[in-house]
Structure 1
Amino acid sequence: MHRFLWILKMALRDFRQNKAKLLLFVSSIVIGIAALVAISSFGDNLEKDIDNQAKELLGADLVLENNQSLGDQVLDTMAIGMASEINFASMVAFPKSDESRLVQVRALEGPFPFYGQLETVPAAAAEGFRDGTKKALVEKILMDQFGAEVGDSVKVGKVSFVIAGALHEAPGQNGITATVAPVVYIPKKFAEETGLIQYGSRINYSRYYSFGEQVDVEKLIEPFEDEWEADHIDEDTVQERKERTGRSFENLSDFLSLVAFIALLLGCVGVASAVNVFSKEKLPSVAILRCLGVSSIDTFLIYLVQIMLMGLMGSILGAALGTVIQFILPEVFSDFLPVDVTVQVSWAAVGFGIVTGLCISILFALLPLLKIRNVPPMMTLRTDADMVNFVRDPWRWAVMLAITVFVFGFSMTLLDGWEEALGFTGFVLLAFGVLWLVGTGVMWLIRRFLPLSLAYPVRQSLANLYRPNNQTISLIATIGLGTAMISTLFFVQNQLLDQVKFADKEDQPNMLFFDIQTSQVEEVKQAVLEEDLPIMQEVPIVTMRMDEINGLDKSENEALPEEEQKSRRLYNREFRVTYRDTLISSETLVEGKLHQVTSPGDSIFVSFDQGYAERAGVKLGDEIVFNVQGRPLKSYVGSFREVNFRKVSTNFLVLFPENVLEKAPKFHVVITKSKTDEQAAKVQNEIVRAFPNISVINLGMIVDTLEEILGKISFVIQFMALFSIVTGILVLISSLIISKYQRMRESILLRTLGASSQIVRKINTLEYFFLGSLASLSGILLSFLATALLSVFVFEFPVKLAWGSALAIYAVITLLTVLLGWLNGRNIINKPPMQILRGN
C-alpha cells in the first residue's frame, strides 16, 4: 500500500510539471470518445423509441397483404377495428403545372391508422379527405416539387381529386421513402373509377386490424399462418415490424460506431505520438531515479499511472461531450428515422465509452512507454536514447497483439460475424502498416540519398524529417489515415453517382413506358414515333408463380432436410418474365444454351439469371412447374445468363423461348430515348393524358432523386467523418506543439549561427509542406486502393479514379498542415537568440 501511494504521489508531482504536454495527450482521444458515446447513446435511445412506438410504425396490430383481393377473412369478425387499402404505383398529373410524376397511390377505406396519425396541413384534412367526396392527400415533397397548393387538383387515372391537405407524416414513412416513393391518398371508393385497376397493373391489397391491448396477436394468428402462406398472403405484426426496423437501425448504428471508432484510433495514434515524445524527454529523469535505487518496474508504473489518469480524464471529457452531441443527432438523421427520438443520457453508452477510451489509450501509450523499463543508470552520464534497446523487447509485441485483439473484439461486437470483424481489423492493420512503411521508407531515403546540391533551406527542411523528435511517422499515420477514410467515402460516393447517371449516355435509353395493355401497344408506339423518338425496345411481360421444382411443391420442399431444400424465395415470389430466342446487350450466356420451341410437343427450356439461380439453389436440368394465371406450365432449366441489371434495359430473372407464352395474359413495356429533358417531359405528359393507366419512368428524374438521396446519405457520412477530421487536426496540432520546444532550440541555434528569420521561416514552411504532402499523398493512395477494392469486390463497378478530386484533397490537407505549422512556429521565429544562452 505504501509503495502504491508513493508511486501515485510521484506520478501526480511529475504531472504538475508536465501538465501542458499531458493535456495534449488528453485532447487526442476526447473527440473519438465523444463520437463513440454520441452514436451509442443515440442508438440506445432509438432502440427504446422503436420499442415504445412500434405500433405507430405499423399503424395497426396486424396487416395482411396480397397482390389479389383478400376476400373474407375469419379475423374480420374478431377485430375491434378494420381498414382496407389498395395501393399501386401510377402516374398522377397536376393540371396547374401540366406536369406528371410516378407516385404510390393508396386508396384507403376505414379509420387507419389505429395508432399514430396521418399528419397533415391543415390538420383536419387527415379526416376531411374521407368525407365521401373526391379529395386527396398529397405528400408535401410532391406538392413542393410541382408548386401545388391545398385546393388545387391532382388527377389520378381518369379522376380528378381536390387536394385536401399536404401529407407530412404517415406510419412507417420518413424523408427517404417520401423522396423515393411519394404518396397520394385517395378514398378507396373511387379506386375502380380511376381506371387504373386492370390486368397487368401491379396492385397490392392490404387489410389493417386492431384487436385491443389484451389480445396476443402472435398467438391469435398462429392457426392461420399455413393457410396464408399457401395463398401467398403476407402478414406483418407489431413485433415483426419492431424487430425488422430495429435490425435495420442497429446495422446503421454499428456502421456509424465503426466510423467513430476510426476517429478514436486516429486519436490513439496521437496518444502514442505524444507519449513517445514525452517518454524520450523523461529518459534522463528515469536514469536518475534508477541511480537512486528505484526499480525499473516502479519507474515504469509512475508514468503508467500518469497515462491512466490522463486516459480516464480524456474518456470522461469525451463521454460528456458525446452526451451533448447526441442532442443534435436526431436532426442530422431526421430523413432516415421512422420514429421520433427522445434524447436522454444513456449511462450504458457513457460507461462503454469511458472503459473503451481508458483501455485503448493505455494500450497505445504502452508501446512508447515500455522503453522506460530498459533505461540504464548509465544514461545519467550519457544521454543517448539509442542506449535503450526497444526493438527486441518481447513485451512490445505482446502489446501490439493486445491492440489487435482489442480492435478485433470491438469490431466483433458491432459487426454480424467474425469474418466481417476480421476484415475490418485487417484493413486497419493494413492501413497503419502501409502508412508506417511510407514514413520509415521516406526517412530512410532522405537520410541515405539527400543531395548536398539542394538549396540550404530545402536540404535543412528535408533533414528535419528524420532528425530527433521528428513528426514524420506520427503525422503520416494520423493525417494519412484520416485522409484515406474521407477520400474513400468521397470517391465511392462519386462512383455511385457516376453509375446512376446512365441517362446522360448517348447509347442508353432514358424513358420507360410500362403497364401498357396489349390493345394499346400500337397506339403508344405510334405516339412515341410521332414525337421523333426511337422505339428501342418493345417487350411483353407475363406474370407467374412457381408451383413445383423437381416434383416438390412448397410444403414438400420444406419437409426436406435443410441442406437439400431449395430457397423459399422461389415459391414465394411472383416472377415477371418475357419470351425471346435471342440475347440482348445486357446479357451473356455463361452455361447451357438457348432452346427454341418449334412445335407444340417440344419441351420448354427456360434461362435463369446465374446469380439468382446460385442464391436460390437452381441447377441446370431442374424441372420447374410455373403457374401462369392458374394454368400449370412445365419447363426445364436449360441455361444460365449473366445479366447486367445496372444497364438500362428490360432485364429478367427468367427468360422463356418464343411460341410458348404469346397467348398468355400480359402487359407491355416500351423503351425510348429523348434528346432533352424538355422533350421527355412533353412526351411523358402527353402519354399520361392519352393513356392514364400507363406509368412512365423518366430516368433523368430518377437520377435527380438518387442524387438527392445520396446527398442526404453523404451528409450523414460526412458529418460522422467530421469527427475524424477534427481528431486528425487535434493530433496534428498536438504533434506540432509537442515538438515546439525542440524546434525553438533549433531555430534559435540557427539564428545564433547567423541565419535570418526569413531563412528559418522558409525552412519551417518547407518542412510542414513536405509533411503535409507525404501525409495527404499517402492517404490518397491508400484511398485509391480501398476504392478499387470496393468497386471490384463489393459494388462490381469498373475502377475509376477521381484524379481531380484527389488533387483538391491533397491541396487542402497540405495547406492545412502548412498553416497550422506556421501558426505554431511564428512566435518561435521571433524569439531573440539570447534566450538560448539563458537556457530557455
Structure 2
Amino acid sequence: MAWRDGKASLGRLFLFMASIVLGIAAVVSIQSFSDNLKKNISLQSKSLMGADYIIESNHPPDERVQEIIDSLGGADAREISFASMMATSRTGNTKLMQVRGIEKAFPFYGKLETTPSGASESLKNGKALVDATTMLQMNLKVGDSIKIGKVILPVGGALNSTPGSSGLFSSIAPPVFIPYGFIEETELVKTGSRIDYKFYFKANASTDLEKLEKKLNPILDAHDADIDTHLSTSRRLGRRYENFGKFLNLVAFVALLLGCIGIASAIHIYIQEKLKSVAILKCLGASSRQTFIIFLIQLIAIGLLGSILGILVGLGLQQLFPLIMQDFLPLELEISIAWKVIFMGMIIGVSMAVLFGLYPLTFTLKTSPLQALRIDESKTSGSKKAGAIIGGLLVLFLFGFSFWLLEDWKYSLSFLGGIAVVFLCLAGIAGLFIYLIRHFFPSKWSFEARQSLLNLFRPQNQTLILILAIGLGAFLISTLYFTKDMLLSQAKLEDQANSPNLILLDVQTNQKDSVAQTVRAQDLPVIEAIPIVTMKVKSLAGKPVEEIRKDTTSQINRWILDHEFRTTYRDSLISSESISNGNWVPKMKDDQEIVPISVSEDFAKDAEVSVGDEIIFNVQGVLLKTNVESIRKVDWSRMQMNFSIVFPKGVLEEAPQFLVLTTKTPNPQKSAELQQAIVEKFPNVSIIDLRQVLSVIQEILNKISWLINFMSAFSIITGIIVLIGAVRTSKYQRIKESVLLRTLGARKEQILKILALEYLFLGMIGCITGIFLSLLGSLLLAYFVFDSTFIPSVGPFVFLLPAIVILVVVIGLSSSLSVLKSPPLQVLRKEV
C-alpha cells in the first residue's frame, strides 16, 4: 500500500528526498575527506618528516645536547637552514629563499622529487637544487649559477617536492638545497640570524619513540633544544587541519538543518492532504496502526533512498577537495572509501526523514473515518504529549550529530544554541511581520498588493518555513562574505607615505649606515631603523623557568618558556599600540636598578604577569632584571614591525644586536632594483617584499573562501528545494484561490502580479533579516575572535540581496504557472 500510494505522489516525494540528498552529500564529502586526511597523515608520517625522529635547536648544540646525540649513536644526517636572499648570476634577479644545507642521505623515508629525475645525487657533487616554481619565475635552467651569501653554486636540478613541504610557506620563501659543507662558506651565520639546526635519526624496530620523547624532552627543553618524532608530527598535523574541517562540518550541518526544515514542512502538508485517504482506509477496515505504518514505510524509504543518493554525490564531491587544498597539504592525498562515514550517512539520512516527519505522521492516528464523509477543511492536529516526546528526540538527534562532528559537548551546545537564536530571530521577524500586516493593513494599496499580503497568513501558508530557509541561507553566506572581507582588509597595505612595503632583515650594526645609504641612493626613504636584541625568559614573577616546566599545575603557556624573543628599545609608542594598563616609560633613569619594560596583552596573558611583576631575561648570557611597567594592546594585523616586549632607551644600546630597516617602493620594478643592489653589497641581509606576501595571503584566502562558499551553496540549494517543495505542496490550495479570484473577475495578469508580490515580500523579509543577523554576528566575531575593527562589506547588500530575492520570485512564479492554466470548472467539479 505504501508503494502504491508513493507512486502516485512520486514527484512530491522526490522533492522531500532532495533535501536529504544535499544534506547527506555535504556531510559525507567533508567527513570522508577528513577521514582520508587523517589516515594519510598517519601512514605517511615518516615520509612527512623524512626520518623517525629529529632533534632540533635554533643555535649550535651545547655540550649536554651533543652528549645526548652521541648516546643515540650519532645523527644519521644533519641540516642547517635559514632564510636568505638568492641571486642568479646570469640575470641578477633576487628572491627570499629558505636555504637548507643537507648532509648525507636525507631523506630516509620518502624522496626528493626533482627534474631531471635523480638530480638529488648532484648535491654530493657540490650543486644546488632550486624550487621548481622559482626556477620558472627567475628563468633559471639546469647548469645556471646561483649566489647565496659568498657562495656561487651551479644548479643541478629543479626541486618539485620535499618531505613535509607545504605550498603555503614555499610561496613566500621557497626551498633551495645546498651541500651541508657550503653553509659556513656563505658567511651568513651571524648575530641575529634565525638559524635552525636539525639532526635526523633512523630508529631501530624495537625503539619506543613515545617513551624516548617523554624521557628526552625535559632535558632538551632545559638546553633550548627539542625532540620531534614522526608520531608527534602526525598528531600535530592532524590538529592543524582539524579546525578547518570542523568549520566545514558546521557548514554541512547547516545544510542538513535546512534539509530537516524542508522535510518537516513537506511531510506536514503531504500528510494533511492524505488524511482524507486515511479516513477512507479506516472506513474500509484499516486500523490506525496500519495507516500509520503505511506512511512510516514511505518516510523510511525516502530516508534510505535519499541517503544512498547523498552518499554517492558526497563520494564524488570529495574528489574535489585534494585539488582545491593541494597548496595547504604537505602530502599527496590518496582517496579511499571511508565505510564508517558511509554507514553514519545512512543512519543520519534515515533518522532525519523519520524524526522530522514523525510528528505530522501522528495526525493519522487521530483521523476519524467520518472525515471521509464530512466536507470540513479543519485540520487534524497531533497530540501535545507526542509532540513533546518527538521534540525531545529531535534535540537529542541534533546534539548527537553535532557532538559527532565537533567532539566537544560544550561546542555542540554552543552551536545548537547559536542556531536556535538565529531560528528564533527569523521566526520572530516572520511573526512580527504577519502581526503588523493584520493590525496595520495597508487598505489603500492596490488590490494585487493587498491580496499578496493577505496570502502570507492564509490557511496552509508557508511564510514561516520560507523565511527560515531563505533567511538562514542568506545569514550563512553573508557572514562568510563579511568575515572574508574583514580578513582581507586586515592584510591590506595602507597607502600612507610612512607605511613601509619592503623590510630589510639581519642588518648588522656596522652595516647600518651603508645599507641606509644604498637605499637612499635609489631615491627611496629609510622609514625606520629598528634595533633588535634577542633574549629568553629566565624567571617569571620570581619563579625560575626550570621550576615552572616541572610544575604540572602551572597555566603559563609553554611558548613563553621556550621562545627566543626578538625585542627592541624606543622612547615612544607606534601607531599600532596603545597602553591598556600601567604607564609608558620612554627612557631608563640613572638611579633605577630594575629595568621598566612594556609587554603586550598576549604576552601578559600567556605568561600570567601583570603590572609590577618581575621578569628576568637571559640576554645572550647576561641576566637582566626587569619590571612590567605597562601592558600594551597591539594590533598584530597591521603590516609593520610589532613586538611583544619593548625596552626603554638607555638599556640595550650596548647589547649584541642587529637592525631591521624599512622602506617604501613605488612599484615592483623599483623593489627589484633595490633588492639587487642590497644583495650584491650585503649578501647577509634578507629582504621581505610585503607585496608578494600579501598576494600569497590573498590567494590563500580566496581559495579558502571559494571552498567555503562552495560548501555554503549546499545551504542555498537546499533552501531552494524547500521553496519548490513548499510551493508544490500548497499547489492545490493556490489553484482553489485562483479559481475563486477568476470567478470573481480577476485576470491572469492580476493573479500573476499577486503571486510575484507575495514571493517578493517573502524574499525581502527573509534575506534582509538574514543579512542583518549576519551583520550582528560578524560584528561579534570581529570583537571577540579577530580583535579587529569591523567595517561591513557592501557585497551582501549590493549583490546577495537582489540575487536571492530574484531567485525566490523566479522559482515561485515558475512553480505556480499551472495555477494560471487551470480552468475554474476543474476545481469546482472536484468540490462537487
Pairwise TM-score range, normalised by the shorter structure: over 0.9
* 2:76 aligned residue: 82
The answer as to whether partners of 1:503 and 1:700 remain within 8 angstroms in 2 is no
Provide the C-alpha distance between the structure 1 equivalents of 2:252 and 2:343, rounded to a whole number of angstroms. Answer: 16
1:20 counterpart = 2:11: yes
Gaps of 5+ in 2: none
State the one-letter code of the partner of 2:559.
R
State the one-letter code of the partner of 2:619.
V
* 1:306 aligned residue: 298
State the one-letter code of the partner of 1:775.
G
C-alpha offsets along residues 736-792 of structure 1, whole Å, 9 cap, x if unaligned? 322333333433444454443333333333333333223322222222122112111
* 1:400 aligned residue: 391
Question: Considering only aligned residues, what root-mean-square deviation do their CA atoms show, in Å?
Answer: 2.8
- Indicate the larger mover: 379-388 or 436-445: 379-388
1:132 counterpart = 2:145: no
State the one-letter code of the partner of 1:82.
D
C-alpha offsets along residues 117-175 of structure 1, whole Å, 9 cap, x if unaligned? 111222222222x1332x32222333344444444443322333333322221111233
1:215 counterpart = 2:227: no
2:257 corresponds, among 265, 268, 271, to: 265
The answer as to whether partners of 1:120 and 1:165 remain within 8 angstroms in 2 is yes
* 1:4 aligned residue: none
Gaps of 5+ in 1: 1-8
* 1:161 aligned residue: 153
1:570 corresponds, among 547, 560, 571, to: 560
Q: Offset at 1:569?
A: 2.8
1:674 aligned counterpart, secondary structure: coil
1:773 corresponds, among 748, 764, 768, to: 764
* 1:227 aligned residue: 219
Q: Offset at 1:706?
A: 0.7
Q: Offset at 1:513?
A: 1.6
Q: Offset at 1:39?
A: 1.8
Matches within 5 A, 1:221-620: 223-288=215-280, 299-375=291-367, 379-380=371-372, 384=376, 386=378, 388=380, 393-415=384-406, 417-506=408-497, 508-560=499-551, 562-563=553-554, 566-595=556-585, 596-599=587-590, 602-620=593-611
* 1:106 aligned residue: 100
Provide the C-alpha distance between the structure 1 equivalents of 2:362 and 2:547, rounded to a whole number of angstroms. Answer: 65
The answer as to whether partners of 2:541 and 2:609 remain within 8 angstroms in 1 is no
Q: Offset at 1:540?
A: 0.8
C-alpha offsets along residues 715-736 of structure 1, whole Å, 9 cap, x if unaligned? 2212322322332232222223
The answer as to whether partners of 1:503 and 1:510 remain within 8 angstroms in 2 is no
Provide the C-alpha distance between the structure 1 equivalents of 2:301 and 2:439, rounded to a whole number of angstroms. Answer: 41
* 2:703 aligned residue: 712
C-alpha offsets along residues 79-109 of structure 1, whole Å, 9 cap, x if unaligned? 5971111111122234555443322221212
C-alpha offsets along residues 467-519 of structure 1, whole Å, 9 cap, x if unaligned? 23323222221122112112211221111111111243555322222211000
* 1:815 aligned residue: 806
Taking a change above 3 Å as real, the CA distance of residues 147 and 265 of structure 1, as seen in their structure-2 partners, is farther
1:54 counterpart = 2:11: no
Provide the C-alpha distance between the structure 2 equivalents of 1:586 and 1:327, rounded to a whole number of angstroms. Answer: 44
Q: Offset at 1:31?
A: 1.1
- Indicate the larger mover: 211-220 or 432-441: 211-220
Provide the C-alpha distance between the structure 2 equivalents of 1:232 and 1:299, rounded to a whole number of angstroms. Answer: 74
Provide the C-alpha distance between the structure 2 equivalents of 1:168 and 1:85, rounded to a whole number of angstroms. Answer: 19
C-alpha offsets along residues 408-432 of structure 1, whole Å, 9 cap, x if unaligned? 3322233253332222111111121
Taking a change above 3 Å as real, the CA distance of residues 776 and 594 of structure 1, as seen in their structure-2 partners, is closer
State the one-letter code of the partner of 1:61.
D
1:335 aligned counterpart, secondary structure: coil
* 1:141 aligned residue: 133
Q: How many residues align?
A: 827
1:36 counterpart = 2:27: yes
* 1:173 aligned residue: 165
* 1:836 aligned residue: 827
Q: Offset at 1:370?
A: 4.2
State the one-letter code of the partner of 1:636.
N
Q: Offset at 1:647?
A: 2.4
C-alpha offsets along residues 507-545 of structure 1, whole Å, 9 cap, x if unaligned? 532222221100011122223333343333221111011
Provide the C-alpha distance between the structure 1 equivalents of 2:822 and 2:720, rounded to a whole number of angstroms. Answer: 26
Q: Offset at 1:239?
A: 1.0
Provide the C-alpha distance between the structure 2 equivalents of 1:494 and 1:217, rounded to a whole number of angstroms. Answer: 45
Taking a change above 3 Å as real, the CA distance of residues 325 and 294 of structure 1, as seen in their structure-2 partners, is same
Taking a change above 3 Å as real, the CA distance of residues 773 and 163 of structure 1, as seen in their structure-2 partners, is farther
The answer as to whether partners of 1:158 and 1:195 remain within 8 angstroms in 2 is yes
- Indicate the larger mover: 570-579 or 244-253: 244-253
The answer as to whether partners of 1:518 and 1:666 remain within 8 angstroms in 2 is yes
Provide the C-alpha distance between the structure 1 equivalents of 2:829 and 2:255, rounded to a whole number of angstroms. Answer: 42
- Indicate the larger mover: 827-836 or 618-627: 827-836
Q: Offset at 1:704?
A: 0.9
Taking a change above 3 Å as real, the CA distance of residues 339 and 352 of structure 1, as seen in their structure-2 partners, is same
The answer as to whether partners of 2:498 and 2:527 remain within 8 angstroms in 1 is no
Q: Offset at 1:275?
A: 1.1
The answer as to whether partners of 1:621 and 1:636 remain within 8 angstroms in 2 is yes
Question: What TM-score comes out, normalization by structure 2 length?
Answer: 0.93
The answer as to whether partners of 1:80 and 1:211 remain within 8 angstroms in 2 is no
The answer as to whether partners of 1:597 and 1:603 remain within 8 angstroms in 2 is no
State the one-letter code of the partner of 1:90.
S
The answer as to whether partners of 2:481 and 2:795 remain within 8 angstroms in 1 is no
1:131 aligned counterpart, secondary structure: helix
* 2:649 aligned residue: 658
Provide the C-alpha distance between the structure 2 equivalents of 1:14 and 1:804, rounded to a whole number of angstroms. Answer: 47
Provide the C-alpha distance between the structure 2 equivalents of 1:828 and 1:561, rounded to a whole number of angstroms. Answer: 73
Provide the C-alpha distance between the structure 1 equivalents of 2:36 and 2:813, rounded to a whole number of angstroms. Answer: 44
The answer as to whether partners of 2:578 and 2:634 remain within 8 angstroms in 1 is yes
State the one-letter code of the partner of 2:320.
I
The answer as to whether partners of 1:576 and 1:652 remain within 8 angstroms in 2 is yes
Q: Offset at 1:687?
A: 2.3
C-alpha offsets along residues 178-223 of structure 1, whole Å, 9 cap, x if unaligned? 2243212222222222232111111111111123444333445655
2:788 aligned counterpart, secondary structure: coil
Provide the C-alpha distance between the structure 2 equivalents of 1:299 and 1:253, rounded to a whole number of angstroms. Answer: 43
Provide the C-alpha distance between the structure 2 equivalents of 1:408 and 1:429, rounded to a whole number of angstroms. Answer: 12
State the one-letter code of the partner of 2:712.
A
Taking a change above 3 Å as real, the CA distance of residues 398 and 532 of structure 1, as seen in their structure-2 partners, is farther
Matches within 5 A, 1:667-816: 667-816=658-807
1:636 counterpart = 2:627: yes
The answer as to whether partners of 1:76 and 1:82 remain within 8 angstroms in 2 is no
Taking a change above 3 Å as real, the CA distance of residues 601 and 334 of structure 1, as seen in their structure-2 partners, is closer
Provide the C-alpha distance between the structure 1 equivalents of 2:241 and 2:790, rounded to a whole number of angstroms. Answer: 30
The answer as to whether partners of 1:79 and 1:210 remain within 8 angstroms in 2 is no
Provide the C-alpha distance between the structure 2 equivalents of 1:92 and 1:328, rounded to a whole number of angstroms. Answer: 36
